[in-house]
Amino acid sequence: MVTSYDQTPYSNLPFAQTRPAVLASVARLHGLRSPDPRTARVLELACGAGANLLGIAAAEPGVRALGVDLAATAVARARDDARAAGLANVAFEVADVRDLVDGRLGIFDYVIVHGLYAWVGDDVRDATLTACRAHLAEDGLAFVSYAAHPGGHLRRMLREAGAWHARAEQDPVARAARARELFSLLDGLASPDFAGAVGEELNTLAAAPTEMLVHDLLGEQHEAVWLADFVAAAERHDLAYVADALPEGSRRPRLPAAVAEFIDAAAGPDAVAREQYLDLIVLRRFRQSLLCRAGRRPTAGVDVLAVTDVLVAYEGPSPVDAPPMLRAALEHLAARPGPQPFASLRESLGVAPGPLAEALMQGFDVGCVSFHVVPLPASPVAGPRPRASALARSQAAPGADVTTLLSQIVRFTDEPTSELVRLLDGTRDRAAILRDFTAGPLSEDALEAALAQLARLGLLHA
């Protein structure tokens, strides 16, 4: 079978929010314990050319990962990239999700489905959730993303307009180019009629990559869903909604008093209804949801007691109105690299766990604190024998997009940086790196500065 993704390959990128450690951290905040992300079994449905799963496998050598996709050319590229990086803990197969409803691939701790659900027919949507449930461990987590309403209605309007403007074109790439003409015209009008949210959509589509227009916008299937309807569909497949998969989705929103009172009265204790009202307020266009097996009982909001059982990391300066305990915690965290155990932070500050947990939640809500269930795979400093991931070393070349250990992208622009990263295989100390570096003069100070920068970018193993 030749798919549209074989004919027009999709962007091959990692997605930091799908990292099992991120999913496990969100679930822990909602009262659930999940398998250790460092030794987990990970399945990605519709994995494309594998960049996302390759990043996960490279960052955590103890992971066993499997990716499946219907596009044979994408799977072939994923296999080639895994082979080039020497990653033996990840494999890729060609498969149709409709053939996987019996759980034939085995049991996995984490199942990732990014960018499929809203772009397929009802039968594939149903099969996707069935396959998630069939392959999910008792204490596992599933990540599913989808175009969402109410913002999806704006995208649908522009999708229909673009399709109509390109109605004479049969080739998908030509249709995309024709639709872009219309989007660019409307985007440049600066008319009050296209201001606000519609204007933002037009600006996005006018500058969107061709493959995004071909597949995401103008493909045969594109159907956004309401959160409440997605949760109901998940429940029909014995899956339960945990929370928004992004950590920031668990923050307590700052709302005007009248808005908060309205939502409290309208949603009551229904957490999904509460999030649906928030979607209306922000005109949400896209959702990334975390699911578990039915029967588990995640908390509706963040369980403050769960904070006492995680690692805490500094993410930004103290807000001007921060209470003294939060300010003291942030100063302590800022002086130490990497996430710190809650218990050691509490002991250092000499405070009770309950008040400290609530203070840290205040920091989390404004984005200056993050929570983690396991240490980060990336080191904030370069060790005696610095080691970049095998994947990054295989990707390092001028003009290349290199995947960090946190599944982010760094663009390399020059050969000296590329060669330096290729040398960082964990066998060389600084003297050996200086000896083997051939791309030009490199002083000890320049090497130290370069290693510090690579560490800040998340490219060096802990």
What residue ranges do the domains of the chain occupy?
4-149+224-293, 152-215, 304-372, 390-456
337 cis-preceded (ω within 30 degrees of 0): no
* Model confidence at 196: pLDDT above 90: no
Give the model's pLDDT for residue 195: 58
Q: Return the closest-CA partner of residue 443 out of 433, 435, 434.
A: 434
Higher pLDDT, 254 or 343: 343
Q: What is the average per-residue pLDDT within 376-389?
A: 96
Give the model's pLDDT for residue 153: 86
Picking from 105-114, 154-163, 196-205, 263-272, which range would have the lowest pLDDT averaged per residue? 196-205
Q: Is 4-149+224-293 assigned to CATH 3.40.50.300?
A: no
- Reported as a pLDDT band with limits 50, 70 and 90, residue 211 is confident
Give per-residue pLDDT as tens, 145-182.
999 999 888 888 888 888 888 888 888 888 888 888 88
Q: CB-based contacts of 260: which residues, under 8 Å, 6+ apart? A: none
Give per-residue pLDDT as tens, 241-263.
999 999 999 998 888 999 999 99
Name the average pLDDT for the chain: 92
Picking from 1-5, 52-56, 140-144, 224-228, which range would have the lowest pLDDT averaged per residue? 1-5
Are the C-beta atoms of residues 49 and 81 closer than 8 Å to each other? yes
Higher pLDDT, 337 or 306: 306
Give the model's pLDDT for residue 154: 86
Give per-residue pLDDT as tens, 119-148.
899 999 999 999 999 999 999 999 999 999
* Model confidence at 460: pLDDT above 80: yes
Distance, CA of 343 to CA of 32 (rounded, Å): 19
Give the model's pLDDT for residue 28: 97
- Reported as a pLDDT band with limits 50, 70 and 90, residue 3 is very low
Instruction: Please identify which residue in the block is written with the tokens 């209470």.
Output: 323
Give the model's pLDDT for residue 272: 94
In the chain, the percentage of residues whose pLDDT exceeds 90 is 75
* Model confidence at 183: pLDDT above 90: no
Give the model's pLDDT for residue 314: 96
* Model confidence at 10: pLDDT above 60: no
Q: What is the average per-residue pLDDT within 71-96?
A: 96
Give the model's pLDDT for residue 148: 94
Distance, CA of 163 to CA of 242 (rounded, Å): 36
**Count, residues in the chain:** 462
* Model confidence at 192: pLDDT above 80: no
Q: What is the average per-residue pLDDT within 276-300?
A: 93
The two structure tokens encoding residue 257: 């008093």
- Reported as a pLDDT band with limits 50, 70 and 90, residue 318 is confident
